[in-house]
Amino acid sequence: ASYVRGAAAALLKQRPPGRAFLESLHGPGPGQGGHLADSEMGASSCLPGDPDGAFLEPQSSAAAAAALAAALAATRRRRFQVRAALCRLPGVGPKVADCVALFALGQHDCVPVDVHVWRIATRDYEPALRRAKSLTPAVYEQVGDAFRSRFGHFAGWAHSLLFGAELAGPLRSRLPGALLADMDSF
């Protein structure tokens, strides 16, 4: 918590980021060549990470696989670009950058990783990560990849739910039994 307060204080001393910087992270808004929300498009048939929001109509499963691979590669590049841009701000490291990207910039596949999330990933999804002695940049990315391989484009939101449930501890007893059963079976 003190780390976040320190980062916020450092940011407040800085000149607010300009529109160009913010658009470089998130892209222009709707009507300015940016993305439209699913509710504005109706049922969305565009792939996550498609920078143009173009609708894809592949002719074959091979074309669909190629389109998906290209979209996923673009999403990965975008995730790294956003993180790198945010990490240039004073006091911002990968976890804070991924939090900002997930909660404020619509980067739904960003997974902010700390020791709690690392523990969840090793226990539930990628036991091989237990061999790591510390949370290095490579391990950080592998933990995020473990969530992305399981939950896809919305890995960041799945991370948030699992993280909250993990930390709830004593509060779990206050949750309805049906919800607890759902969480445990998930």
Mean pLDDT by 10 residues, the chain (186 residues): 47 49 50 40 38 47 70 73 90 94 90 92 92 93 94 91 77 74 68
Give the separation between CA 44 and CA 42, rounded to whole angstroms. 6
Residue-level pLDDT at 94:
94
- Identify the structural domains of the chain with CATH numbers, from first to last: 1-93 (no CATH), 111-186 (1.10.1670.10)
Closest residue by Cα to residue 140 from 101, 106, 93, 108: 93
End-to-end CA distance of the chain: 29
Which pair of structure tokens corresponds to residue 51?
Answer: 């920078």
Name the residues annotated as catalytic. Answer: 95
**Which stretches of 9-168 are assigned E, i.e. beta strand?**
none
Give the separation between CA 25 and CA 19, rounded to whole angstroms. 10
Q: Which residues contact 7 (CB under 8 A, 6 or more apart)?
A: 89, 90, 91, 92, 96
The answer to whether the CB of 129 falls within 8 A of the CB of 139 is yes
Burial degree of 44 (CB within 10 A; 0-12, 13-18, 19+): middle
Residue-level pLDDT at 175:
72
Which pair of structure tokens corresponds to residue 105?
Answer: 């910039």
Residue-level pLDDT at 110:
93
Cα distances (angstroms) measured from residue 8 to each of 16, 19, 23, 164: 12, 19, 20, 23
Give the separation between CA 168 and CA 183, rounded to whole angstroms. 12
Q: Among positive and negative, which fits the CA dihedral 11, 89, 30, 71? A: negative
Half-sphere exposure of 118 (CA within 13 A, CB side): 17
Q: How many residues does the chain have?
A: 186
Residue-level pLDDT at 12:
46
